[in-house]
Chain A
Amino acid sequence: ETGVTQTPRHLVMGMTNKKSLKCEQHLGHNAMYWYKQSAKKPLELMFVYNFKEQTENNSVPSRFSPECPNSSHLFLHLHTLQPEDSALYLCASSQAPRGQDGYTFGSGTRLTVV
């Protein structure tokens, strides 16, 4: 199993649905991140967690709700999304608090909002 595992790999949801993305790492890293990757846009940092505590929320709409129950798991709860939220959502982890040692990324969840 690779270092950072994301499930599901693909998700199609209606605008009124509620779903969750899951990220898991067993690398012993202390920091975990959610990134959004849209076509033709730079990677957008959404949330940062250090030692289970949220240390950064990059002005993300409240329809995205992160949860970090422990240092190994990170969730992104989704509700009442918009079509423009369709993107690849990447989870990453790092040992250093802001990724100065480099990130380990998961394979991402390809989200389509219909």
Chain B
Amino acid sequence: AQKVTQAQTEISVVEKEDVTLDCVYETRDTTYYLFWYKQPPSGELVFLIRRNSFDEQNEISGRYSWNFQKSTSSFNFTITASQVVDSAVYFCALSEGPTSGTYKYIFGTGTRLKVLA
């Protein structure tokens, strides 16, 4: 069955530290998509990145980077030189391909990141 596990419930770091948020997924599909979303205190989830299962290249966007490893079924998210504005809940999500005729979209339980000044 499909599953997304974010084992870290809450992480606290001091500003300028690097921090990695872990995401481990389970799926039987060979075609799937992985996502990260950020939920600041205002409430809306903000889309950060999408990765498809055929593209294992790591991605960097400013201070954010993502490490996708199919061998370990992980899609980890690293924030370099964290800032107070990075404080939020971060969700990892999985969208499976249509092997059963319908897509499934599964969110992890989220990791609350607190960046202290």
Find out whether the CB atom of B95 lies under 8 angstroms from the CB atom of A100: yes
Residues of B within 8 Å of A110, CB to CB, are: 43
CA distance A105 to B46 in the complex (A): 7
Find out whether the CB atom of B108 lies under 8 angstroms from the CB atom of A98: no
Residues of B within 8 Å of A92, CB to CB, are: 45
CA distance A100 to B51 in the complex (A): 10
Is A66 part of the binding interface, using a Cβ–Cβ cutoff of 8 Å? no
Q: How far is the CB of A33 from chain B (nearest CB, A)?
A: 9
Say what secondary structure dominates the interface of chain B: strand
Find out whether the CB atom of A45 lies under 8 angstroms from the CB atom of B105: yes
Find out whether the CB atom of A103 lies under 8 angstroms from the CB atom of B107: no
CA distance A10 to B19 in the complex (A): 33
Q: How far is the CB of A61 from chain B (nearest CB, A)?
A: 21
Is B44 part of the binding interface, using a Cβ–Cβ cutoff of 8 Å? yes
Q: Who on chain A is nearest to B89 by CB?
A: A37
Q: How far is the CB of B3 from chain A (nearest CB, A)?
A: 10
Is A7 part of the binding interface, using a Cβ–Cβ cutoff of 8 Å? no
Is B72 part of the binding interface, using a Cβ–Cβ cutoff of 8 Å? no
Residues of A within 8 Å of B42, CB to CB, are: 107
Residues of A within 8 Å of B74, CB to CB, are: none
Is B91 part of the binding interface, using a Cβ–Cβ cutoff of 8 Å? yes
CA distance A97 to B105 in the complex (A): 11
CA distance A99 to B39 in the complex (A): 17
Find out whether the CB atom of B45 lies under 8 angstroms from the CB atom of A103: yes
Q: How far is the CB of A73 from chain B (nearest CB, A)?
A: 18
| List of 8 A-B pairs having minimum Cβ-Cβ separation, nearest first | A98-B103, A105-B45, A108-B43, A107-B44, A43-B107, A102-B47, A107-B43, A105-B44
Q: Can you list 16 A-B contacts (CB < 8 A)?
A: A2-B44, A42-B107, A42-B109, A42-B110, A92-B45, A99-B95, A99-B105, A100-B95, A103-B37, A103-B45, A105-B44, A105-B46, A105-B47, A106-B44, A107-B43, A108-B44
B residues touching A (Cβ–Cβ < 8 Å)?
A: 33, 35, 37, 42-47, 50, 91, 95, 102-103, 105-110
Known: A88-B43, A106-B44. 4 other contacts (CB 8 A): A42-B106, A42-B110, A92-B45, A105-B46
